[in-house]
Chain A
Amino acid sequence: MSKIKSLFESGSFKSAFIPYFTLGDPNYNDSIEFGKTILDNGADILELGIPFSDPVADGPVIQRAAARSLKNRFSFDEIFRVTKAIHDHKPETPLVYLTYFNPIYHCGITKFLDRAKESGIVGLVIPDLPFDTEESEILFRELKVRDMDLIHLVTPASEKKRIQALTKTSSGFIYYVTSFGVTGERREFSVDLKERIKFLKDTIRLPICAGFGISTPDQANQISQYADGIIIGSAIQRVIEENGSDKTKTIAALADYISKIRAAIP
């Protein structure tokens, strides 16, 4: 059983808190400290972003984070080193990567997966790799062999037939995109969010975690009443952006924000 599956089956929470931040912003060593802080203050699963030069599914906050990160010398050795350090701090918390497909493809799928697994990664989210591609099928097979998960995105625009087809190559959880557009904080979500998530839970039989646009404890509390998890990225990255030059201040601000969100989710 994959680590994510056993976590959701453990019953230790009603709804999981899944924070995200980009590795390397403002530098790789600070990322280790940020990761540890987020883990210590209540992340159930942690999404680590591998920066990519052209993040088309991301809004301005995460775009800027990727750009700041890439000003440092990018290397997979550095990514895996930082990941391992975060993993070693709290090995029981599942870590997943969120990245675009080109860096993985360029590294080589099996090489990337072997090294990611060694570093403590248990799943992947790839916003530009739809499930109905040959590469996604290869990736799913290779991940399964390593007991790792391929977490697909479902959106308000995804039709029933497509959602049903997606179940064959999905595992871990479903990343449900709450609204149209790219990542970024929002005031409102699509009106039928609750119904869509209920429909997905009945159709896919995997935990349905909601992301894109959630930033406040109130929003997290409200959506956690019917979603199996809450994913927050841009709001966390904004904390890093606003305080990143001062590591101590960033750590304090992250601890405060993460603990407030965790407290708002049952």
Chain B
Amino acid sequence: MGKNLPGYFGEFGGRYSPEILTEALEELESTYQKLKKSKKFKKELEYYLKNYVGRPSPLTYAERLTKLWGGARIWLKREDLNHTGAHKINNAIGQALIARFMGKKRIIAETGAGQHGLATATVGAMFGMETVVYMGAVDVERQNLNAKKIEMLGAKILPVTAGEATLKEATSEAMRDWALNVSTTHYIVGSAIGPHPFPTIVRDFQDFIGSEARSEFKKRNKKLPNAIVACVGGGSNSIGMFHAFLKDKQVAIYGAEAGGLGSKPGEHSATLTYGKTGFLHGTKTLIIQDEFGQIVPAHSVSAGLDYPGVGPEHAHLSQTGRVEYRMVTDEQALDSFLEVTRVEGIIPALETAHAFHVARDVAKDLGKKKDLIICLSGRGDKDVTEVLRLLGERK
């Protein structure tokens, strides 16, 4: 493991991937260490984040939600305003720059809700790189708008039909592609998961979220917020939001994970609540698995949270108690989706709707004159068709 990057977070993390990938992971780690110290790289990354992505994203005071919930003041970190509509673009740009530095002309990605696939296809188009996106066949259907956009951007979508045909299978297939094409290809892992050094690299490229929110809030209010909330699937927007606040002990941190339909295996993606320590997709983390160590299919109304594992740093933060992770059911997420849309005029991603549900409870518990920031990880255009279908089923 690297000398400067953490390979492990407590007992979680590490590199448990097929041997064929080891050299590429070591090359990635040493390149990133070098680039991290390079002023030129930092300048280039900041250039694209400012001029292409639109950073810094604003911190919006949500006046009507504050009033409606009747508790703490609500602030929204607006990652939905980024180009491509979610936080995923931050990491995709960062990793594409690394790939370019390593001389790799082909990039691949896995995607669930399609936002990471869209971000990767976007940077592929912008940097002129051949791009392939693995997406579960089920997700291609339920996130069809993003699938279409990815193709329009010139990337190739390869639908994965194995298993449950969702994010887990897309991730396995992307790893297999990388094993075959490792000398020419960089795998842009989309969440803070995977073998070392991916969890650290992804976190660093998403750290802008929390750092910006922290400094802007402090500048405007001359203090830190009392609490922050973000949703957790693999956990990239949330680790990006949390990381800058971890040392601020006075700031309570909450993660919202997908409670799905219920507590039985196969009904949820609540890894931090029901998961046990294990090894999946190259990392040691909490995983939803059966009594024999076979991975149990996950479920969530949100394709982006539908994953049976979680980033190893989250597993560690859960174990140490620094972050409190709460479950939100599909129905609760749908209710929050509608509420935020109607009250604030912002259509949030279904993933983010989970965070809003937790935030409502936290805001009430905190009470007035306290402040809470929600990471609005992405916009919900991609979810509209699926939400309408689900609302139709409700009737």
User: Taking beta carbons and an 8 Å cutoff, which residues of A are in contact with B?
Assistant: 52-57, 59, 63, 67, 70, 74-76, 100-107, 127-130, 133, 152-159, 162, 177, 180-182
Contact = CB atoms under 8 A, between A and B. Distances in A.
Interface in B313-366: none
Contacts of B175: 56
Nearest to A154: B19
Contacts of A157: 19-20, 22-24, 182-183
Given A52-B294, A106-B293, A127 B179 contact: no
Given A106-B278, A180-B181, A180-B183, A53 B19 contact: no
What 10 pairs between A and B have smallest CB-CB spacing? Answer: A106-B293, A181-B180, A103-B293, A155-B20, A57-B18, A53-B295, A102-B293, A157-B23, A53-B294, A153-B19
B100 interface: no
Given A157-B19, A158-B19, 16 more contacts: A53-B295, A54-B163, A55-B172, A57-B179, A63-B162, A101-B16, A102-B294, A106-B276, A133-B15, A133-B16, A158-B23, A159-B23, A162-B22, A177-B19, A181-B176, A182-B18
B16 A54 contact: no
A204 to B, nearest CB: 14
B147 interface: no
A104 B279 CA distance: 10
B13 to A, nearest CB: 11
Interface string B271-292: 0000011111110000101011
Contacts of A133: 14-16
B203 interface: no
A158 B180 contact: no
A155 to B, nearest CB: 4
Most B C-beta atoms less than 10 A away, residue of A67, A100, A107: A100
Contacts of A52: 293-294
Contacts of A53: 163, 294-295
B36 to A, nearest CB: 23
23 contacts: A52-B293, A56-B18, A56-B281, A75-B292, A76-B292, A101-B279, A102-B279, A105-B277, A106-B291, A106-B293, A107-B292, A129-B16, A157-B20, A157-B22, A157-B23, A162-B23, A177-B20, A180-B180, A180-B181, A181-B20, A181-B179, A182-B18, A182-B179
Interface of B: 14-20, 22-24, 162-163, 168, 172, 175-176, 179-183, 276-282, 287, 289, 291-295
Given A56-B175, A130-B17, A180-B183, A104 B23 contact: no
Most A C-beta atoms less than 10 A away, residue of B16, B20, B24, B180: B20
Contacts of B292: 74-76, 103, 106-107
Contact of B19 (A59, A70, A100, A127): A127
A125 B308 CA distance: 25
Contacts of B291: 106
Nearest to A75: B292
A152 B277 CA distance: 24
Nearest to A129: B16
Contacts of A158: 19, 22-23
B179 A102 contact: no
B17 A128 contact: yes
B15 A102 contact: no
Contacts of A104: 293
Contact of A70 (B15, B23, B277, B294): B294
B22 A54 contact: no
Contacts of B168: 54
Nearest to B19: A153
A106 B289 contact: yes
A76 B175 CA distance: 28
Most A C-beta atoms less than 10 A away, residue of B14, B182, B183, B293: B293
Contacts of A106: 276, 278, 289, 291-293
Nearest to A63: B162
A67 B297 CA distance: 13
A16 to B, nearest CB: 21
Contacts of B280: 54, 102
A5 B180 CA distance: 32
